Structure 1
Amino acid sequence: MDHTSPTYMLANLTHLHSEQLLQGLNLLRQHHELCDIILRVGDVKIHAHKVVLASVSPYFKAMFTGNLSEKENSEVEFQCIDETALQAIVEYAYTGTVFISQDTVESLLPAANLLQIKLVLKECCAFLESQLDPGNCIGISRFAETYGCRDLYLAATKYICQNFEAVCQTEEFFELTHADLDEIVSNDCLNVATEETVFYALESWIKYDVQERQKYLARLLNSVRLPLLSVK
């Protein structure tokens, strides 16, 4: 034997081992083998393993290791999570992949937020940011604010300001509250060719429900740089 050769080897099989482990656990889940928890949404039952769920979700970890009654239960009912979203979250826990689309993101993001699954939440926000257009940016901004997605909220707000001339023609614009509208038109980053654009946008918003909104006219006009308006 050549005594200059190493007498041992540490084989780094981390990637293959991780993949094999996940595949094995997922097969066990799919065949309902060694599962110790059932997540129920309505009539739908989702079998899983507590240790897998707890490893990806601080919410589940607290549920299964804390002093909550669910710690000893073999079945937990969810009433505030969409069934399809919860199934997608469980799939993610076992596969590391999650399907996000315009049809699923509005239920998936709140579920990921509640269950504190940051990677899925981040991907949902990135997807919504990629979908921004004049007709949905206000709605996405509100959605982001509701669930505390600050980066998405800032991106949506920036989009609104940069594309204000198109945004103010959309249905979402006319559904803004006076406070939200005031915040937008007073933003220093508002991108408009002339101040008339802002003035006519405010006028259109008020006319949309003149009885209710005319009382906000004076306050909103404070955000218009009146000296820059053309005299007509």
Structure 2
Amino acid sequence: MEQQVSLSGSTINERSQSLLETGLGSNCIFIVGESKVYFSAIKGFLIRVSPVFERMFYGELRETEPTEVPDIEPDVFNTMLRFIYGCDWSFKSNAKAVELCYAAHKYMIHDLLQRCVEHLWPTTISDVWTALEVGNLYSLPELRDAAMKIINENSSAVLESSDILHISQDCLTDILRGNALEIPNEMDVFKMCYKWALTQCEQKGLAVDGPTLRNELGEALNHIRFLVMGSKEFVDDVITTGILTTEESLDILCFLVMEGRYCLSSKLCTSREKRIPDDGFERLPYL
């Protein structure tokens, strides 16, 4: 005889939670994470919030069931289901909020994604790194811009923060591009980038030499403003790292020594504008 299942609770929230926990009415199964935890759900609830689930279950290219989800941890998937079902839920940590953001982005659950953005919204320097990474990774310009605003207003502290040494290359490039940093001495920017590249090499177990450091910097190197440096500091602190080629070093050095009366052939950053202009005029916002 088939066991009877009934819902408990008197409020919508309580009965929704019971509905999720008992699996009553479920008509699809997910196998989640490396530990392969099984979850059952009601398709109608899922497609109500996600066009991705709609295509999965009723589109022309519908997937075979049960559906395997190896890229999301079971506790994060459970939190996503609790949101979909209308149960009580909360962010366990910023790290879990980032994982939940990934799930919301993957399944295009807009309302959940917005809740993640609100939770990760930066208010201090320590908040900006996660906000910037998530904003860039999931194309959330409002989150990215909020982080950039704090970076712009606290440039010196940002440059001295040890956390900046662990951000992605894309985020480093984003910070260097335009006028996000208000730093009077470009050499300070270069030294931070050099430390960042050293950190990447150490974390990856790579040999520390000029070409490797350059490879780690990638596109970020093209946004360091070598042309506003002094010739002596360029020789002492940049050329000695081996990050630039001999041709690039000589090209830039000739430009600096001749005070701009030299035609550059280098493809590196050609900007001659300091990140904090000396003319007293208000700077344009970062791009």
Determine the structure 2 residue equivalent to 1:163.
Answer: 154
RMSD: 3.1
Contact 1:91 1:98 in 2 (8 A): yes
TM-score by length of 2: 0.60
Give the Å deviation of 1:61: 1.4
Q: Which amino acid aligns with 2:75?
A: T
Of residues 106, 116, 122 in structure 2, which corresponds to 1:124?
116
Alignment of 1:18-33 (within 5 A): 23-33=14-24
1:86/1:175 CA distance change after superposition, 3 Å: closer
| Residue 205 (str. 1) matches residue 199 (str. 2) | no
Counterpart amino acid of residue 222 in structure 1: R
Matched, 1:224 2:279: no
Question: Identity, % of aligned pairs?
Answer: 21
Deviation (angstroms), 1:20: 5.3
**Deviations along 1:71-112, whole A, 9 cap, x unmatched?**
x73x21112222221111101111254412313112100000
TM-score (norm. length: structure 1): 0.72
Distance in 1 (alpha carbons) for counterparts of 2:77 and 2:164: 33
1:82 aligns with 2:73: yes
- Size of the alignment, in residue pairs? 201
Q: CA deviation at 1:226?
A: 8.7
Query: Structure 1 stretch 115-124 or stretch 132-141: which is displaced more?
Result: 132-141
- Alignment counterpart, residue 58 of structure 2, candidates 58, 65, 90: 65
Match of 1:182 in 2: 176
Q: What residue is the counterpart of 1:91 in the other structure?
A: 82
Q: Please report how far the alpha carbon of residue 181 of structure 1 lies from its aligned counterpart in structure 2 after TM superposition.
A: 4.7
**2:119 partner letter:** F
CA distance change for structure 1 residues 63 and 206 in 2, over 3 Å: closer, same or farther? Answer: closer
Distance 1:158 1:67 in 2: 44
Q: How has the CA–CA distance of structure 1 residues 206 and 123 changed in structure 2, closer, same or farther, with 3 Å as cutoff?
A: closer
Q: Which runs of 5+ in 2 are unaligned?
A: 1-9, 199-208, 215-237, 239-243, 253-268, 280-287
Alpha carbons of structure 1 residues 38 and 168: separation in structure 2 relative to 1, 3 Å: same
Q: What is the distance in 2 between the residues matched to 1:148 and 1:122?
A: 12
- CA separation of 1:20 and 1:207: change in aligned 2, threshold 3 A: closer
Work out the CA distance in 1 between the residues paired with 2:47 and 2:21: 18
Q: 1:152 to 1:161 in 2, by over 3 A?
A: same
Give the Cα–Cα distance (whole angstroms) in 2 for the partners of residues 120 and 99 of structure 1. Answer: 11
What amino acid is aligned across from residue 188 of structure 2 in structure 1?
A
Q: 2:16, 2:87 within 8 Å by CA — same for their partners in 1?
A: no
Structure 2 partner of 1:56: 49
SS in 1 for 2:67: strand
Aligned to 1:11: none
Match of 1:109 in 2: 101
Partner SS for 1:40: strand
- Residues 181, 201 of structure 1: alpha-carbon distance in 2 compared, 3 angstrom cutoff: farther
**Alignment partners' CA distance in 1, 2:50 and 2:152:** 36
Q: Deviations over 1:116-157 (max 9, x none)?
A: 111110111111114x43245244313211111111011111
* DSSP-derived class of the 1:81 partner: coil
Work out the CA distance in 2 between the residues paired with 1:207 and 1:109: 31
Q: What is the letter of the counterpart of residue 58 of structure 1? A: P
Partner of 1:152: 143
Q: Greater CA deviation, 50-59 or 168-177?
A: 168-177
**Partner-residue secondary structure (3-state), 1:168:** helix
Instruction: Measure, in 2, the Cα distance between the counterparts of 1:87 and 1:159.
Output: 34
Instruction: Return 5+ residue gaps in structure 1 as ranges.
Output: 1-18
- Counterpart of 1:173? 164
SS at match of 1:104: helix
Partner-residue secondary structure (3-state), 1:228: coil
Question: What residue identity is the alignment partner of 2:162?
Answer: E
CA distances 1:155-214 after superposition (whole Å, capped 9, x unpaired)? 11111111111100012434565744531xx41x6446xx24xx3522422552594363
